[in-house]
Amino acid sequence: MLKKRHMTIAACFAAGAMLVSGLAAQSATKVKWDVKLIDQRGPFRTADVTRPTGKEAMTQILGGPGNGSEAGYLLYTKMAAGAHGPALFTLAVDDLYLVLSGKMTVQIGTDKFVAGPNSGVYIPAGIPHATWNAESEPEANIEVITPAPSLDLLSMLTPATPRKVDNAAQYVREAPPLPATLKPGLNGQQLFSLRGTSTPN
Whether 127 contacts 108, CB under 8 Å: yes
Q: What pairs with residue 144 in β-bridges?
A: 74, 96
Whether 173 contacts 201, CB under 8 Å: yes
Q: What is the pLDDT along the chain (201 residues), one digit of tens a residue?
A: 444 444 433 333 333 333 233 333 334 445 556 666 655 555 566 677 777 777 888 888 888 887 778 889 999 999 999 999 889 999 999 999 999 999 999 999 999 999 999 999 999 999 999 999 999 999 999 999 999 988 888 889 999 999 999 999 999 998 877 677 777 776 666 666 544 443 333
Domains recognised in the chain with CATH numbers: 35-170 (2.60.120.10)
**Other CB atoms within 10 A of residue 63 CB:** 21
One-letter amino acid of 190:
Q
Per-residue pLDDT, 141: 95
d(CA 108, CA 167): 10
pTM of the model: 0.73
Question: What is the chain's alpha carbon radius of gyration, rounded to the nearest angstrom?
Answer: 22
d(CA 135, CA 114): 10
Q: What is the three-class DSSP state of 98?
A: strand
Per-residue pLDDT, 199: 36
The DSSP element (H or E) to which 5 belongs, if any, is helix 2-28
Strand 35-37 vs strand 57-63: parallel, antiparallel, or unpaired?
Answer: parallel
Residues in the chain: 201
Whether 88 contacts 162, CB under 8 Å: yes
The angle subtended at Cα 196 by Cα 143 and Cα 175, nearest 5°, is 45
Whether 88 contacts 160, CB under 8 Å: yes
Cα 47 to Cα 97, 104, 180, distances in angstroms: 16, 19, 31
